[in-house]
Amino acid sequence: MTTLPIRIYGDPVLNQVTTEIENIDGRIAALAQTMIETMNEAPGVGLAANQVGVQKRLFVYDKGDGPHVVVNPRFSRPTVSGLMKRAVFRCPGLVGR
């Protein structure tokens, strides 16, 4: 099993803009698999590529039904009912809502 170090709050890489993935190839598939292994070892429910020092638009998550991979996500504003408390890997001890 391969895992990657998780960057934490204060690491400048977390403030850098990530780049879009133009081609899903073997390297991206291997990165996603390694990120899943890292997330499971942490343990956690989600992990973005920049949290492991890779400036690509990719994240993995597992809400209990097996791991999922999201490539080039786009974010929208959540509704008030969509807000939940979540622990954040890169900010140990901090909880968002």
Contacts 24+ apart (CB under 8 A), 72-78: 72/20, 72/21
* Tens of pLDDT, residues 1-44: 789 999 998 999 999 999 999 999 999 999 999 999 999 999 78
Please name the residue that has the structure tokens 């998780």.
Answer: 6
Q: List % helix, strand, coil for the chain (3-state, nearest 5).
A: 30, 20, 55
Q: Judge contact between 60 and 50, C-beta under 8 A.
A: no
> What does the mean pLDDT of the chain come to?
86
Backbone dihedral angles phi then psi of residue 14, each to the nearest 5 degrees? -70, -15
pLDDT given at position 14 = 92
AA letter at 85: K
